[in-house]
Structure 1
Amino acid sequence: MDVQGRGRADGIDPADQWVLNPTTGDYELRLTPSAPPSAVPGPRRPAPRDPAPRDPAPRGTGHTPPPGTSAGRRGRRPVPRKPKASRAKKVLLWTGGTMAFVLVATAGGAYFYLKHLEGNVATTDIGDAGKSGFSKDEAFNILIIGTDKRTGDGNEGYGDQGSVGHADTNILLHVSKDRTNATALSIPRDLIVDIPDCPTKQADGTEKVVAGQQDVRFNRSLGESGRDPGCTMRTVKETTGISVDHFMMADFNAVKTLTTAVDGVTVCLEHAVKDKQSKLDLPAGESKVEGEQALAFVRTRHSFGNEGDLDRIKVQQQFLGSLMRKMSSGDTLTSPTKLLKLAEAATKALTVDSAIGKVGTLKDMALELKKVPTKNISFTTVPVLDNPAETIKATVVVNESTGPQLFDMIQNDVSLTAVKQQKKKEAAAVAARLKGTKSAASEVRVRILNGGAAAGSAQAELSYLQNDEGVAKSENAGNADAALARTTLEYAPAQADQARRLAAILGLSGSAMKPGESVTNSQGVPAMTLTLGKDFKGAGIKLNSSAAASVDVDKSTADKVQCAG
C-alpha cells in the first residue's frame, strides 16, 4: 500500500481513525476490526500508574461502581475528561493553488501520523534558487504558485489543454522578522519580464541549464522548456529584486479539497453572477462556496470589473481573506476532526522545495505564521501599466514610478499596515543623525558612485554639486559594486558635520545616512561616499528616502469583508 493509502481500508477517512483517549488526553490511531493492519503504527499507550484488582461483584448484585466509572455490558469505562489544552496544538499553514491559509493539527504522541502526512508532501530540488533551511528568527519570503496543469479528477476542463503547468497564479508572501505583519504580493501572469538562465535538477541527478528569455509573460517561467519552480523564484528576484526563500505549489485540486475540508468559505458578490465559462452561479450578497463552486469563484474573470486577469486577482485576494478568517475561527480551531481533515487536504495539495519538505519544518513555519494578526496581513498587486509595445493591450509591465518603492518596502521588511509607525521611526532617525552643526559646502568632501541610477547620473550630480551648491571637493568615483534600491551617504563619525550639510542639500533622510569607517578619495584624503540608488530622480532633485512615506499602492487586509464586483 502506498503512503497516501495508509489507513484507508474500507473507505475510512484517516481523520476519523484518530480518536481522543480520555485517560491520557492524546489522540490515538484506532483501526476498525475489518481494516487490515495499518502501516502507520499508533502511539504507545502508557501503562496504568496504579492498577486496581477487578471488581468481583457479578452483574445485578446492586454493586455501585466506584466514582469515575459506569457499569455496562462491557464492564467499567472511564468517564471522559476534558483534554489539557497543551495536548492539541493548533498550527496555521499557508499553501494552495490560489494560496490558501490552512491548519495542520498535531497532538501529543502523534509522531507517526506526522510521518504519514510527510509522505503526502511532494518535494522538488531547486538547488541554490532558495535557502537551504528555515529560521524562526528571520523574515522570510515564500512564493505561492498555482499551476494550470489538468491533474486530478474532474479537472479535465480547466486550464490549457496539454499544459505542462505554467505559473498561472503567483503570490509572494513576505512575513516580517518580528511577526507583527505580512504582505501578500500578487504577480500577474501576463506581466512582461526577463526570465534568467535557470539551472534545473534532472531525474538522473544531473543538472541542465534552461536558457533565459527576454520580454515574455511571467507565467512562462514555469513548465516551459522544463523550467521548475526554482526558475520562477529566480524570475521574481530578477523582476523585483526580492530574494525568495522557498516555494509552495499546487494545482486546481487545492482550492476544492481545502474548502471542502472546512465545510465551505463565505464569499460576497456586489451583483448576481451566472458565468458560462467558469460555471459560477451565485446571487448577490453573501454565499458559502466549497469544492467546484469555490474553484469557479477564484477562476471567474468575465463577470468582474474589466473582465481581465487583474480583476480576477482582486477576487482571489478577497477569497483568501475570507478563507483565512474561517481558518482562524473558533469553529475550526476547536474541531479535532476538521483539523485532521485539513492536515490531510493541505499536505496532499502541496509540492514544496526539499529544504522545507519535512512536516516538522512546515509545522515550525506554520507556527511563525500564526503569530501574524489578520489585520496586519496586507494583500496587494505588483503596480503595472499597459504594455506600451502593444496596440491591442494584452500584457502589462511594471509601473516604474511606484513598483520599485513597493519592492523596496518588502525587501526592507516595512509593513504596508505600519506606515505611521515607519514615519515615526524615520523621524527619530532624522532627529538623531541630522541634529547638530553643519559644515560649509566648500568643506564637504564626497565620492559619488552610481549604484542603480540612470547612466551618467554620477557625473550629472557631480556637476550640480560643484556648480550650483559649491561642493567643490567632490569627484565621480564610477559605478558601485552592486545596485541599491535607495540612495545612501556613508561617512565616518568625524565627518558628521559634512554629512549633515550634504544631506540638507540632497534632501536625504536620516535613514539614508550610514555611519561607518572613513575612506579616502583619489587624492588620498578622507571623504564620504554618496551612492546613487534606483530612487535617484535626477541632478538637483531632492530625494525622499522613506518608501513608506511616499508609496501609494492599492491594498486590502485579511480582517475586512469585501464584496467582489
Structure 2
Amino acid sequence: MRRRDARPEGTGTAGISVARHGEDAEGTPRHMNVPKGLPLWLKIVTGVVSVALVAGVAFAAFWFIRLQSNITKAPLTAGESRDTSATVVNDKSDRLQILILGSDTRDGKNSQYGSAEDSTGYGHSDVMMLLDISADNKRVSVMSFPRDLLVDVPQCTDHTTNQTYPARRGVMINEAMAEAGIGCAVDTVNKLTGLEIDHFMMADFNAVKELSKAVGGVDVCVSDPVFDPDSGLRLAKGNSLVEGEQALAFLRTRHAFGDGGDLGRIKGQQAFLSSLTRKLKADGTLGNPQRLLQIADVVTQNLTVDEGLADVPSLLTIGGRLKDIDVSKVAFVAVPTQPAAVDINRLELVEPQASQLFAALQADLDLTTPGATSSPTATPTGSATESPSGTPTTAPPAAPAYNKAIQPVAVANGTGVSSRAQEIMAVLTGDGFTQSVSYLANPVEQTVVYYGSGFADVATDVATLLGIPAAQVQEAPGVSGVQLYMGTDFGTGTKYGSASVPSDVVNQTANDAVCQQVNPLYITQ
C-alpha cells in the first residue's frame, strides 16, 4: 500500500512536472541557463566586443613591452648647465627641441663599417642636427652642424663613471661626446647656440638601413652617375630609390657631393630627410598607428634617448605632432661656416650670420620667412610703439629738412664681430644715407648714437631707423656729424633689441626635391 501523499518524484497533484531545488521545469540547473530576455544579435555583439577588447589589450601590451624593452637611455646633460628651475617641457604642447645624433661606433651590428679602434669611448657624432618643433605644430626647422666645426666644449662629467673632463677649446664638434657621453654633445650645442635642448635621439648605422627598408625605400637624385669606394655609394644619374646599404652610403659619403667637403655631405643628408618626410606625409604613415608601431619597432632597436623620452608614449607623441605638418614649413638649414683660420681643413662660424641665426631660433621665428623680426625686448622711447597685434610699428617720420645723401654718418663697430658693421651700413645706405662709413672700434656694452652741433635731427632719424631708444641718443661736441657706436647689445639683426631671420639661411624645405651635384672626381660611367 502506498501512502496518500506518496507521488511519483517530480509530479504534482495534477500531473504537472515540478522542478527539484536548483532545476528548471526541464531538470536543467538554473545557473547554466542563458538569460532569455536578451535577443540573439545582442548576445553575439557582446561576445565579439569582449573578444575584441581582450585582443586589443593584449596587442597594446605586447607592443608596449616590446618597444619599451628596445629603448636604451642616457642622461640628457653632462654638467650643471641646465636651468633646473625652468618649467619642465610638455612634449605634447610646448615648443620642442631635440638633438638628433648619428653615432659612428663600430661595435655589434656596425662592426662591418670598421674596427672598434675607429671610434673611441662613446664614439663620435657622425651626424648632428637640431630638430625644432613649434608649439603650434605648424613649423619645423632642422639645423645641421658640420662635424668639422671647431667649437668650445664645456666641462663634462660622465655620469656612468663619475669622471669629469675639463673644458676644451677649438675642438671638432663631433668629438664632444667621445669622452663623457651624449650629454656632453647636448651641453656643447646649448653653449654654442644659446638654446636649451629638451631631448636627444642617437641612432647608429643599422638604424638608417632598417628605417629605409621599413618605409619601402627613399627617393634621391644625383646630377651624374656616381661611385664612392669609401662609402660604397653607386647610383645612376637622376632619380633612384635607395634602401638598406645604399641608403646608408648616401648619408655617409664624405666625398661624392659638392666639393667633397662636409657641407656637400650635409646637403645630401638634408635632401634625403626631405624626401623621407614627403614620403611619410604622402603615405599617411605618421597618422597610421600600425605603420607607426612597425617603424618605431625598427628604430627603437637601434636608438638611444634621454630619460625624458625613454618611454613609448613620449616617442609616439613626437610622431603624432608631426603628422599634419605642412612640408613647405619644414626648413633645413646649416650653421653658417667658413674655413677656419687655424686650419683650412676645419670650419668655424661666420659672423654675424651665425649669431643672427641663433638669435632667430631663440626668438622662435619662422626661418622660411627671410627678414621676419621679433618684437624688441624693450620699446624704444620716442621711436617705436607696439600695435594691438603685438607687432612693433614705427610712426612715419616727417620729411627731413636736409639731404640724407650728404650727411656724414659713421658706424663705429664695437660689437666684437668684425663684419657686423656691413649689415648696418646696408640699412643706412638703403635709406638714403649714402655717405656712411664704418670702422672697427673698441668693444662696448651699450649702443649709443652720438651727434655734433646741428645734427640732432639726423641722429634722431638714424636712431629711429634702427630702433634705438631716444635715451641712447646723445650730443657729443667732439663728433663731426653723426656717429653710431654699436655695442655688444646690438650684435644681431637690423633692429635694436630684436632678432631677424637672415636671408638665404634655408638650404631647402621638405617640399623641395633637390638633385645633388656630384663631385667631378667621383663621376663614373
Using the size of structure 2 for normalisation, the TM-score is 0.67
Q: 1:201 to 1:457 in 2, by over 3 A?
A: same
In structure 2, distance between residues paired with 1:503 and 1:118: 63
Paired residues, number: 407
Q: How far did residue 138 of structure 1 move?
A: 2.3
Cα distance, 1:460 vs. partner?
A: 8.7
Correspondence for 2:170 among 211, 215, 222: 215
Instruction: Say which SS state the counterpart of residue 208 (structure 2) adopts.
Output: helix
Per-residue CA deviations over 1:261-293 (Å, capped at 9, x if unaligned) read: 112111111111122111112111111111111
1:394 corresponds, among 330, 342, 345, to 345
- The residue type paired with residue 219 of structure 1 is N
* Cα 1:437–1:221 shift into 2, 3 Å: same
Q: State the Cα RMSD in Å.
A: 4.1
Q: Secondary structure at the match of 1:215?
A: strand
Is 1:163 the equivalent of 2:116? Answer: no
1:328-361 deviations in Å (ceiling 9; x for gaps): 2237468776443212112212111102212112
Report how far residue 451 of structure 1 moved. 11
Deviation by residue 1:71-91 (Cα, 9 ceiling, x = unmatched)? xxxxxx98xxxx9xxxxxxxx
Which AA in structure 1 matches 2:120?
A: S
**Unpaired stretches in structure 2, ≥5 consecutive residues:** 1-34, 377-383, 399-412, 418-440, 472-484, 518-525
Alignment check: 8 A CA contact 1:376 1:558 kept: yes
What's the offset of the Cα at 1:559? Answer: 1.5
In 1, Cα distance between the equivalents of 2:196 and 2:355? Answer: 14
Tell me the alpha carbon deviations over residues 437-488 of structure 1, each in whole angstroms, 9 at most, x when there is no partner. Answer: 99xxxxxxxxxxx9976794448955x52657888xxxxxxxxxxxxxxxxx
Matched residue, 2:101: 145
Q: Percent identity?
A: 33
Decide whether the 8 Å contact of 2:286 with 2:319 is kept in 1.
no
- Pair 423,197 (structure 1): closer, same or farther in 2 beyond 3 Å: closer
User: What is the distance in 2 between the residues matched to 1:243 and 1:220?
Assistant: 20
Deviates more, 1:358-367 or 1:452-461: 452-461
**C-alpha contact 1:141 1:172 (8 A) present in aligned 2:** yes
Q: Which runs of 5+ in 1 are unaligned?
A: 1-47, 54-65, 70-76, 84-105, 439-449, 472-499, 516-529
The amino acid across from 2:368 in the alignment is: T
Q: Secondary structure at the match of 1:352?
A: strand
Match for 1:184 among 136, 142, 153?
142
Change (3 A) 1:503 1:222: farther
Q: Give the secondary structure class of the aligned counterpart of 1:465.
A: strand
Aligned to 2:505: 553
Letter in 2 for 1:404: S
CA spacing shift, 1:258–1:401, aligned 2, 3 Å: same
- Tell me if the contact between 1:126 and 1:228 (Cα under 8 Å) persists in the aligned partners: no
Which whole-Å CA distance do the structure 1 matches of 2:359 and 2:416 have between them?
A: 15
> Structure 1's 210 and 549: CA in aligned 2 closer, same or farther, altered over 3 A?
closer
2:145 counterpart of 1:194: no
Contact 1:356 1:362 in 2 (8 A): yes
Map of 2:70 onto structure 1: 120
**Counterpart-to-counterpart distance in 1, 2:454 and 2:177:** 51
CA contact (8 A) 1:122 1:352 kept: yes
State how far apart, in whole Å, the 1-side matches of 2:451 and 2:287 are.
69
SS at match of 2:112: coil
Name the aligned partner's letter for residue 171 of structure 1.
Answer: M
1:467-482 residue pairs with structure 2 within 5 A? 467=452
Output the TM-score relative to the length of structure 1.
0.62
Question: Deviation at 1:245?
Answer: 1.6
Does the CA contact (< 8 Å) of 1:148 and 1:163 recur in 2? no
Q: Is the 8 A contact 1:451 1:534 kept in 2?
A: no
Please state how far the C-alpha of 1:139 moved relative to its aligned partner: 1.5
Asked if 1:254 corresponds to 2:207, the answer is: yes
Cα shift at 1:144: 0.5
Query: Within 1, Cα distance between the matches of 2:367 and 2:203?
Result: 27
2:257 paired with 1:304: yes
